[in-house]
Amino acid sequence: MNNNYLQKWRSTRSLMRSVLVRIMLAAALVVGGLTALAYTFIYNETQSRMLDNHGDWIVERAHNDSLIFELAQENLARFSQEFLRLYTSDVVVDEETFWSYYQRGHDGAVRLRREFYDGLYADDGLYYSGVTSFIGNNQPVDDPELRRRLVLSLRLLAQLGPAMVNRFENVHVTYPENAIALYAPGTPWGLEAEPDLPMNELGVIRAMQQSENPERLPGWSGLYFDATAQEWALTYQVPLDLDGRHLINPSHDISLTDLMERLVSDTPEGAYNLIFRPDGYLIAHPAEPASDRRWVGQMSLETIDDTELTGLYHRINDATGGRPGERTLLHYPEMDAWLAVSELTGPQWWFISVYPDALLRQAAHQAATAVLVSGLILMALLIGIIVYIIQRDAAIPLAQLSRAAESVADGDYDAVAEGRISLPRGLRNEVGLLARTFHGMTINIRDAQSTLEKVVAERTEALESANKSLRELSLLDGLLGIHNRRAFDRDLKSVFEQSSRGVGEFYLMMVDVDEFKLFNDTYGHARGDEVLKQIAASIAGSIRRDDRVYRYGGEELAVIFNPLGSEPPAQAAKRVLAGVAQLAIPFPESAHGRVTISAGLARGHTGCVNADELVTEADRHLYAAKRAGRNRLISELV
């Protein structure tokens, strides 16, 4: 026996050596394959994640840079709305009122009085400051309607201007006539304009004329450099018409110097930004040809001497149909770069960020290499640990388990269960768990036979009890606690079949709460549910021991009267109505002043074709009771 055990132990050690060699060979193959897969996956995933992050950045950046344009649109929409409200009101501006605002100068031009710029509480109750207005000397002012538009515009500028210029240079109103009104603190433009300046013939203002803009669309001017203010700006204006008549053009001059500065300074490392107009004009670029900032915004594709830059525009235009939307990611092989594009709300400019492929490849390679090295180190460590544990905790314990398995195979369960064969149950690993489980298994097999039949019997009894409880619950109404429609259909079928075989007769009463919908509408469904519970309890207490009440549906109940007993069913049915009446539930809206029920009673007998016919007959009596004034029982017996 000892020689056989020694031989098996040596065989087990030889087996473990073979297993270890195979594990190391397999690990080397797996590591090599996983290394290649991991490197490729992480490389691609890192590139994809960086591009996705760059796309999110361009969306957020475009959103933030669009806020100034959206605010301009909101301001002018409100100004237009308020102007129309004033214009269509009964506010009167007579000639005397007009000249209390304006005066004609020696040069023939009509200008707003100086004190409206310096600061003045006017007769209209408004405070004016920073407001100027100018009417060219070639524009007559004898039209009352024009004078009214001018004064209403001035009043609106005084009211809304101070709040609207917190982010803007000014608010101004131009007209189809040669006139302008401005709120521009610090710039008395209307007081200094040349008297013969033809403003309504200038390009920006002329673009709002009905002949130039028949679609009546808001207009965004091109980007320009204000040499006086040393700022980049553009003008946004909205034509306002009423019944086909051109009234005014409210507008903002929007400073974009901060946006131009952020174009260069706020950009991901290694990337750069630029802006194109949808029609191909270069708005801004951080390097040549845009170093002369005065000319940025006026460079069309024909004047840009850079094939990569013009190709970039065509790549975006061709791929998006000229509408890149909120976010577009494109690869541009000619520049070996990715393009992230987002539209700026308002002028619909294309905000473009150019991200070189080299940066993506470098970052992806670094991430993949770091993961690869970490994986190799971890794999080597794991193999070392596995070898150590197998050598220490597997060889001898497996030989013991082998001997115990042979004993069990021979049918000697007691040798293992009683501990005559040693098992490594003290090990705190899988082998120890296996040994403890193996030992417990032999004990369980020995003891299981005696307890199996008892367990099966107990569980069978518990299951039958649970099924019985479920069957009972399925036949009760959850709200009223009486039997439900399912129980009614079952019991009605049963008594009907007995009656058809001549065993006996029975009676069916259909009950309905009078004007219950009105009650619910008046007092609420919660109160209605309480009333139904009271009525159901009253009927259950009024019927005989062998009778049964059901909830047929909604506020309709049913009672099956068994013919047994000395009291006639009709008498029991009347007692049901009397019991409900004794509840005296107030219902002033009812003709009876309290909650009542109506009922129809029908007799089940061998002449009935089916149970549904009996229900129909009882319903017919019930509806007759309703028509007869409610609060009554109708039957051929009554």
pTM: 0.52
Pairing of strands 597-604, 633-635: parallel
Question: What CATH number is given to the structural domain containing 516?
Answer: 3.30.70.270
Q: What is the mean pLDDT of residues 443-457?
A: 57
- Across 9-18, 342-351, 451-460, 474-483, least confident range: 451-460
Q: What is the pLDDT of residue 138?
A: 92
- Are 248 and 328 in contact by the 8 Å Cβ rule? The answer is no
Both structure tokens of 176:
């189809």
Q: Is the pLDDT of residue 445 over 90?
A: no
Q: What is the pLDDT of residue 1?
A: 47
CA distances 344 to 283, 330, 352, Å, are: 12, 18, 10
Give dist(CA 263, CA 349) in Å, integer.
13
Q: What is the pLDDT of residue 606?
A: 60
Q: Is the pLDDT of residue 145 over 80?
A: yes
Q: What is the pLDDT of residue 250?
A: 96
* Same-domain status, 263 and 138: no
* Same-domain status, 161 and 277: no
CA distances 297 to 133, 285, 353, 518, Å, are: 30, 10, 18, 74
Q: Tens of pLDDT along 24-72?
A: 777 778 777 777 787 788 878 887 888 888 888 888 888 888 888 899 9
- Catalytic choice (177, 515, 555, 617): 555
Classify residue 499: in a domain, yes or no.
yes
Q: Is the pLDDT of residue 293 over 50?
A: no
- The DSSP annotation for 405-470 comes to HHHHHTT-HHHHHTTSS---TT-SSHHHHHHHHHHHHHHHHHHHHHHHHHHHHHHHHHHHHHHHHH
For tokens 């009876």, the residue is 592
Both structure tokens of 439:
């030992």
Q: Tens of pLDDT along 79-103?
A: 999 999 999 999 999 999 999 999 9
Classify residue 392: in a domain, yes or no.
no
- Helices 430-474 and 395-409: crossing angle in degrees, nearest 10, is 60
Residue 334: pLDDT band (50, 70, 90) is: confident
- Are 69 and 347 in contact by the 8 Å Cβ rule? The answer is yes
Both structure tokens of 332:
């541009």
Q: How many other C-beta atoms lie within 10 A of the C-beta of residue 173?
A: 26
* Same-domain status, 149 and 241: yes
Q: Tens of pLDDT along 177-234?
A: 999 999 999 889 999 989 998 887 777 788 888 888 899 999 887 777 666 556 778 8
In the annotation, is 177 catalytic?
no
| Rounded-to-10 torsion of CA 626, 628, 629, 635 | -60
* Same-domain status, 307 and 196: no
Pairing of strands 506-513, 224-226: unpaired
Q: Tens of pLDDT along 379-388?
A: 777 777 776 7
Question: Which of 222, 250, 278 is where one domain is finished?
Answer: 250
- Indicate the burial class of 365 (C-beta count within 10 angstroms; 0-12, 13-18, 19 or more): middle
Q: What is the mean pLDDT of residues 98-109?
A: 94
Q: How many other C-beta atoms lie within 10 A of the C-beta of residue 532?
A: 22
* Same-domain status, 307 and 161: no
Classify residue 243: in a domain, yes or no.
yes
Both structure tokens of 600:
């129809």
Q: How many other C-beta atoms lie within 10 A of the C-beta of residue 490?
A: 11
Classify residue 410: in a domain, yes or no.
no
Q: Tens of pLDDT along 566-580?
A: 678 888 889 999 999
**Cis previous bond, 278, omega within 30:** no
* Same-domain status, 268 and 243: no
* Same-domain status, 227 and 178: yes
Residue 449: pLDDT band (50, 70, 90) is: very low
Question: Which of 310, 336, 359 is where one domain is finished?
Answer: 359
Q: What is the pLDDT of residue 341?
A: 92
- Helices 525-542 and 516-523: crossing angle in degrees, nearest 10, is 140
Range of the domain at 321: 258-359
- Are 579 and 539 in contact by the 8 Å Cβ rule? The answer is yes
Classify residue 494: in a domain, yes or no.
yes
Amino acid present at 302:
E
Both structure tokens of 242:
């009423």
Q: Which 3-state string (H, E, C) describes 23-83?
A: HHHHHHHHHHHHHHHHHHHHHHHHHHHHHHHHHHHHHHHHHHHHHHHHHHHHHHHHHHHHH
* 149: CB partners within 8 A, 6+ apart: 87, 175, 247, 248
Element (H, E) at 262: helix 257-265
Number of domains into which the chain is organized: 3
Classify residue 278: in a domain, yes or no.
yes
Q: What is the mean pLDDT of residues 417-435?
A: 75
* Same-domain status, 510 and 598: yes
Please choose, from the candidates 497, 470, 503, the residue with its C-alpha nearest in 3D space to the C-alpha of residue 611: 497
Q: Is the pLDDT of residue 373 over 90?
A: no
Both structure tokens of 20:
């270890």
Classify residue 291: in a domain, yes or no.
yes
Question: What CATH number is given to the structural domain containing 353?
Answer: 3.30.450
* Same-domain status, 80 and 191: yes
Give dist(CA 620, CA 612) in Å, integer.
12
* Same-domain status, 80 and 153: yes
* Same-domain status, 236 and 267: no
* Same-domain status, 186 and 273: no
CA distances 16 to 23, 27, 65, Å, are: 10, 16, 69
Classify residue 63: in a domain, yes or no.
no
- Indicate the burial class of 350 (C-beta count within 10 angstroms; 0-12, 13-18, 19 or more): buried
Q: What is the mean pLDDT of residues 128-150?
A: 94
Q: What is the pLDDT of residue 66?
A: 85
Question: Counting runs of H as helices and runs of E as strands, what totals does the chain give?
Answer: 17, 22
Question: Which of 201, 218, 250 is where one domain is finished?
Answer: 250
